Amino acid sequence: MFIAATFAIFVAMFLAIIRGITGPTLYDRILAVNMFGTKTVLLISLLGFVMGRPEFLDIAIVYALINFISVIGVLRYSDTNKLKHMPSDEKSLDKEL
Amino acid sequence: MISHLPVLQVIVPLMAAPICLLLKRSQLVWLFSLFASAIAFIISVLLLQQVMTSGVISYELGGWEAPWGIEYRIDQLNAFLLLIISGVSTVVLIAAQTSIEKEIPKEKHTLFYILYLLSLTGMLGIVSTGDAFNVFVFLEISSLSAYALIALGQDRRALWASYQYLIMGTIGATFILIGIGLMYQMTGTLNMQDLSQRLPDVAQTRTVFTAFAFVIVGVCLKLALFPLHLWLPNAYTYAPSIVTAFFAATATKVAIYLLIRFTFTVFGLSFSFTTLPLQELFLLLGLTGIFVASSAAIYQKNVKHVFAYSSIAQVGYIVVGFSTSTITGLTATLLHLFNHALMKSAIFLALGAVVYRLGNVQLSSFNGLGRQMPLTMAAIVIGGLSLIGVPLTVGFVSKWYLLTALLEKGWWPVAILILLGSLLAVIYVWRIVEAAYFKKPLAGSVPVKEAPLFFLIPIWLLITANIYFGIDSRLSLKVASAAAQSLLGVSP
Amino acid sequence: MDMILNISGALCLLVGSFLCISGGVGLLRFPDFYTRMHAVGVTDTLGAGMILIGLMFYSPDFLIFSKLVIILLLTLLIGPTTSHVLAKAAMQNNLKPKLQQEDNIKETSSSNY
Amino acid sequence: MIIGLYNDWVVVVLMMIGLYIVIAHGNLIKKIVGLAIFQTSVFILYISMAKVEGGSAPILAEGIKQFSNPLPHVLILTAIVVGVATTALGLALVIRINEAYGSIEEEDIQHLDNQTQDETELQATEGEQS
Amino acid sequence: MKDLFAVVMLLGIYSLLSASFFVAMDAVDVAFTEAAVGAGISTLLMLVVITITGRSEKTTRHKPLLALLVVVFTGSMLIYGTFDMPYFGIADAPIHSHVAPRYIQESMKEVGIPNIVTSVLASYRAFDTFGEVVVIFTAGIGVMALLSVGRRPEENEKTTAIDDSMHEQYLVIRIVTKMLIPFILLYALYVQFHGDFGPGGGFQAGVIFAAAIILYTMLFGLTTARKVINQSFIQFIAAAGVLLYGCVGIVSMLNGANFFDYNALASDPVAGQHLGILLIEWGVGCTVASVMIMIFFNFAERREMQQNNEKINNIEGDSL
């Protein structure tokens, strides 16, 4: 059962990576990274059980925290002028719309 | 306390660095770091004495015996290098306070001394340790502080030079890390002594070849051996003068030490030189390095650039001596390490004095300087003569031994090439002499005074040592040949 | 007793895995940022919750159980918050939902510079 | 052989991707990213050599007999720290370079440098002539 | 990929992935560190830098051929080297049979803590770890030497006002953060002390602690954070950490044993080891936390300075 769940998480992670690479907007990437982070937390917890040493959940807690902090960081720093100079986001957005 | 000397050697400057951060006042910090460096120097003298009388000293950190814990292992070679590094550092530090006053903003003086001490610590640590991974850690301490120190230069090109050095240096360090990893994978140990015993069993495997290649390439990046030298000239030119004087005399020496240590001690002579074409390779690279760098030095407009390129050429001489792998050749290499440290630190300190008075070191602003700053210019000239290899200077001694070693091997074409290389040195030194003594000062340039005393003392200390060891080379020769003999496994 | 624990744990894991995959598919297939965020936000919180609860059924001792509870609480706290902030930031930077197509193109092109 | 060594090969490919980025890209931040990838791949090399089939994490517990090798873990802990230190210093340099040159592209910087070099040489020759 | 922002995000993902791999390879301590450092701190630092320098990359690649050549050569060299490597996972490879067995079998008796990684890190190879702390310290000093702006000019009223208004939008997140920060700090302490028994230790704890402070700084502004923790205080802690670590060694030396020989710290060797490891972990934690905070503050300060300049330029431009 653990194996099956691990596999499911791998699939979800893979999908998130695709979204992270393709974009198209900044926020899609952030979303993908965030989802990837949560999935990693689950993966680590599951791996502990798969390998029969579930004591190492501490790592999962750290992941959850770090994930939160980096998403906040991304958002905090994404609303500066410099980042908006990048035209490709808006262009691709236009294309998509 | 005597038995703890090997570790104190590294710990004293290391612990002094954070204390400097707490002291804050720059004058005080200068005195304190000078003090720490001087203690390190005294320790290195004691260590050398001890090693020469009683042989290899081994110190087990944490009380764990060698392959499990980290071992400090001081033999003649280490002790010799420790002496060079801490000695140069102490002498150069005397001039530091005066020099950085003009070159570095006031609030960064404390940080400068801390970084300087950390860099010293890193180099001492690399040299004294007997553990391959510990080398990597201390290599990074010295490199990181070196990047920051170089970036402190006034010119914005210093930043760019430092960045390039950072990229190259990190690639080099990572290569060394890969090499150490592969060695570890084949033998299961990190201790150099243990490695040297266990490597012959697996010497014929492809993994060990790769490990060797990666370590050597990584070290050569740090060493600025000919095709990998691109980071060095700008880094030396735009760094603060004190930093240049310190690094030119020590940084490449430490890399050469690593090269010698890995090829001779860890992998062993037979592996490095018989199974692999290392000898021919190094000979070739060394010779090309001498010619390319010396010719490049001739065309430079900035005097610091001239001597930076000359450093690369000197690395070439050292590597040629190293590639003979005979006792005389190695003695020449080690002597040249010592001698080159003496000349280059004196020359770059003198250039620092010129920067202090003039604000730049363009060749054109040297015009007529021979009369305005006679003592400083005389030092540069003596240093330059020593670079050429004129008798009565140390340069002559090491070149003499190098030529003897080459002739012993029967490589007389190489010997002729070396002499030709020295001719190139004559040209670039002459250009400076010509500007300083035979040209009139530029119209409209303000005449300058002689350099301040805090510059002259260290410069002339080094120059006196230069001449002394040029005339009476028994002491340095004794140590160098003892180190060479111990490396080649010949009992002295 | 063990049997019941195992079965309910397996069930939770199964549901959680399904939710995670569906969230991933949603992230990939939905048309614009806000709908994608909806897919991720909802399934992530529930899916992660289910998987963690499922693991709790299997946990051998109390320490591990309590760590899982902490992780669960963290996810419950952090997931919605990030979703909220993300949506808000996107909205403030003039990323419009795909609903009203005609106004949208005008507005994005006028407000970006 | 393929099964026994495939992970090493994957690591090699990752390392080379990192190294390629460092050498080929002109953007200074991207170079640092490349370095980070390069270093992380080396960490993977070390860690994968520590694994023992059937072993467990090297934390002693009852009922577990075989452990993976703890020494590479220790080494890599140190190496990670070194890596982050290098990254931080490199990024600090990038900030300063950006302030001094107004660009973080290698080409632009080299171009600007050549200009200043020419200028100083020009001044020097002028001075000599006068 | 021309968008540096995306590059950094993907680097974060790569780091998370490799950390998961480390867990699968039993390297829990390493995974812990990689997660906190690679995915957390370095990603954040890179983000800050991108906001300063701009996020697009020029398309030109210079010397791609040379690069390819070097890379192919190095890569094939490495592949060549792998052919004689011991296969993955086999238990009788040299690394598993020479030095490591002693750590696994004897460390409980000699050092007395269950986490072998910690006992190797803090006792057998304590000097490496000392070096690591010094590396971090060097990086902190280096960043300070490069970026510190000396005396901060008195805060411009206008800019602080702008700065404050910018935070108003983050009401929800501010509240959640306020709830989380004490928990994170507490957790950092837990990691600090639990390093002997599970994954964790001074370094990881320091990074987590620093992450909490960084989170606070991001949401409440640099000026506020500076009021809580001022520059000279952090410098003091950073130096004190290194000194504490070194002093453990010196004390053991004064007690007549070798440097870092903890056995000499107490009458009972195992108790001495415990004491020594506890102290040096504290040293590591202090230095790492304060240096990380220091680096982040310096980066953020530069960013703020630059933005203020831009704003002032904009205002002046408008008035003209």
Q: Report the amino acid identity of residue B38.
A: A
B167–D31 CB contact, under 8 Å: yes
| Alpha-carbon span B385 to B400, nearest angstrom | 15
Does pLDDT of B144 surpass 90?
A: yes
User: Would B349 be classed as within a structural domain?
Assistant: yes
CA distance D78 to chain E (A): 6
Residue E167 banded pLDDT, cuts 50, 70, 90: low
Note the pLDDT of residue C99.
Answer: 63
Output the pTM of the full model.
0.91
CA distance E260 to chain C (A): 34
CA distance E15 to chain A (A): 11
Chain A residue whose CA is closest to E13:
A33
Domain encompassing residue C70: 2-111
What residues form DSSP beta bridges with D63?
none
E142–B145 CB contact, under 8 Å: yes
Residue B123 banded pLDDT, cuts 50, 70, 90: very high
CA distance D102 to chain A (A): 13
pLDDT over 70 percentage in chain B: 99
Note the pLDDT of residue D127.
Answer: 53
User: Would A28 be classed as within a structural domain?
Assistant: yes
Scanning the structure block, which residue is given the tokens 């965030």?
Answer: A34
- The backbone torsions φ and ψ at residue A24, rounded to the nearest 5 degrees and listed phi first, read -85, -25
Note the pLDDT of residue B490.
Answer: 60
Domain encompassing residue B410: 277-492
| Total structural domains within chain D | 1
> Does the N-terminal peptide bond of residue A87 adopt cis geometry, omega within 30 degrees of 0?
no
DSSP string, chain D: -HHHHHHHHHHHHHHHHHHHHHHHB-BHHHHHHHHHHHHHHHHHHHHHHH--TT-B-SB--TT---B--HHHHHHHHHHHHHHHHHHHHHHHHHHHHHHHHS--BHHHHHHHHHHHHHHHHHHHHHHHH-
Note the pLDDT of residue E168.
Answer: 57
Residue D129 banded pLDDT, cuts 50, 70, 90: low
- Is some CB atom of chain D closer than 8 A to the CB atom of B185? yes
User: Would E293 be classed as within a structural domain?
Assistant: yes
E88–D48 CB contact, under 8 Å: yes
CB B309 within 8 A of CB B294: yes
Chain D residue whose CA is closest to E18:
D44
Give the one of A35, A61, A93 whose C-beta lies nearest to C67's C-beta.
A61
Chain C CB contacts of A4 under 8 Å are: 13-14, 17
Give the one of E169, E172, E173 whose C-beta lies nearest to C92's C-beta.
E169
User: Would E78 be classed as within a structural domain?
Assistant: no
Mean pLDDT of E190-203: 84
Chain A residue whose CA is closest to E51:
A82
User: Taking the CA of residue B419 as centre, how many other CA atoms within 13 Å lie in the half-sphere pointing to its CB?
Assistant: 10
Chain A CB contacts of C9 under 8 Å are: 1
Residue E287 banded pLDDT, cuts 50, 70, 90: very high
Cα–Cα–Cα angle for B361, B363, B367, rounded to 5 degrees: 105
Chain A CB contacts of C89 under 8 Å are: 27, 75, 78-79
Chain C residue whose CA is closest to A76:
C89
Note the pLDDT of residue A95.
Answer: 38
User: Would E106 be classed as within a structural domain?
Assistant: no
If asked whether residues E156 and E254 sit together in one domain, one would say yes
User: Would D125 be classed as within a structural domain?
Assistant: yes
Chains E and D touching, counted as 3 or more CB pairs less than 8 Å apart = yes
CA distance B471 to chain D (A): 40
Residue B24 banded pLDDT, cuts 50, 70, 90: confident
Q: Using CB atoms within 10 Å of the CB of residue C101, give its burial: 0 to 12 exposed, 13 to 18 middle, 19+ buried.
A: exposed
Locate B373 and state its tokens: 């700053």
Chain A CB contacts of C25 under 8 Å are: 15
Question: Which residue, among E104, E100, E83, has the nearest Cα to E92 in the 3D structure?
Answer: E100
Mean pLDDT of E304-310: 80
Does pLDDT of D92 surpass 90?
A: yes
A83–E50 CB contact, under 8 Å: yes
DSSP state, E249?
A: H
- Is some CB atom of chain C closer than 8 A to the CB atom of E169? yes
Does pLDDT of B120 surpass 90?
A: yes
CA distance D126 to chain A (A): 42
User: Would D58 be classed as within a structural domain?
Assistant: no
Does pLDDT of B478 surpass 70?
A: yes
Mean pLDDT of B340-353: 90
Note the pLDDT of residue E320.
Answer: 59
- Is some CB atom of chain E closer than 8 A to the CB atom of B147? yes
The CATH number that applies at residue D46 is: 1.10.287.3510
Q: Which residues contact D93 (CB under 8 A, 6 or more apart)?
A: B147, B151, B159, B162, B163, B166, E146
DSSP string, B21-37: HHH--HHHHHHHHHHHH
C86–A79 CB contact, under 8 Å: no
Interface chains of chain B (3 or more CB pairs under 8 Å): D, E
Does pLDDT of B157 surpass 50?
A: yes
Mean pLDDT of B116-125: 93
User: Would E249 be classed as within a structural domain?
Assistant: yes
Chain C residue whose CA is closest to E172:
C81
- Is some CB atom of chain E closer than 8 A to the CB atom of B301? no
B166–D45 CB contact, under 8 Å: no
| Total structural domains within chain C | 1
CA distance E171 to chain D (A): 31
- Strands (E) located in B108-152: none
Q: How far is CA B248 from CA A16, B128, B242, B267, C33, in A?
A: 51, 20, 10, 28, 57
B205: left (phi over 0), alpha (psi -120 to 50) or beta: beta
Cα–Cα–Cα angle for D73, D78, D80, rounded to 5 degrees: 90
Interface chains of chain A (3 or more CB pairs under 8 Å): C, D, E
Give the one of A12, A75, A90 whose C-beta lies nearest to C89's C-beta.
A75
Locate B245 and state its tokens: 């004087």
Locate D49 and state its tokens: 């050599």
E313: left (phi over 0), alpha (psi -120 to 50) or beta: alpha
| Total structural domains within chain B | 1
Chain C residue whose CA is closest to E170:
C85
Cα–Cα–Cα angle for E37, E38, E41, rounded to 5 degrees: 50
- Is some CB atom of chain E closer than 8 A to the CB atom of D100? no
| Alpha-carbon span A43 to E24, nearest angstrom | 10
If asked whether residues E36 and E154 sit together in one domain, one would say no
| Total structural domains within chain A | 1
Does pLDDT of C104 surpass 60?
A: no
If asked whether residues E178 and E269 sit together in one domain, one would say yes
Give chain C's mean pLDDT: 79
Chains E and C touching, counted as 3 or more CB pairs less than 8 Å apart = yes
| Total structural domains within chain E | 2
Residue C63 banded pLDDT, cuts 50, 70, 90: confident
The better pLDDT of the pair A88, B240 is held by B240
C49: left (phi over 0), alpha (psi -120 to 50) or beta: alpha
User: Would D55 be classed as within a structural domain?
Assistant: no
Domain encompassing residue E47: 1-57
Give the one of D56, D59, D61 whose C-beta lies nearest to A51's C-beta.
D56
Mean pLDDT of C50-69: 86
Q: Which of residues 345-364 of B touch D (CB under 8 A)?
A: 362-364
Locate C97 and state its tokens: 């939902």
Note the pLDDT of residue A91.
Answer: 40
| Alpha-carbon span C59 to D107, nearest angstrom | 58
| Alpha-carbon span E126 to E143, nearest angstrom | 26
Q: Identify the weakest region by mean pLDDT among B55-69, B358-372, E57-71.
A: E57-71
Locate C84 and state its tokens: 């909220």
* Residue range C2-40, pLDDT digits in tens: 788 888 888 888 888 888 888 888 888 888 888 888 888
- The backbone torsions φ and ψ at residue A21, rounded to the nearest 5 degrees and listed phi first, read -75, -45
| Alpha-carbon span B313 to B428, nearest angstrom | 12
Interface chains of chain C (3 or more CB pairs under 8 Å): A, E
C77–E179 CB contact, under 8 Å: yes
E88–D4 CB contact, under 8 Å: yes
3-state secondary structure of B454: helix
* Residue range E225-262, pLDDT digits in tens: 888 888 888 889 999 999 999 998 888 888 888 888 88
Query: Among positive and negative, which fits the CA dihedral A44, A50, A53, A55?
Result: positive
The better pLDDT of the pair B284, D121 is held by B284
| Alpha-carbon span B324 to B330, nearest angstrom | 8
Chain E residue whose CA is closest to B204:
E84
* Residue range B290-327, pLDDT digits in tens: 888 888 888 888 888 889 999 888 888 888 888 887 88
Rg over alpha carbons for chain E, rounded to the nearest Å, is: 24
Domain encompassing residue D95: 2-50+69-129
User: Would B3 be classed as within a structural domain?
Assistant: no
- Is some CB atom of chain C closer than 8 A to the CB atom of E176? yes
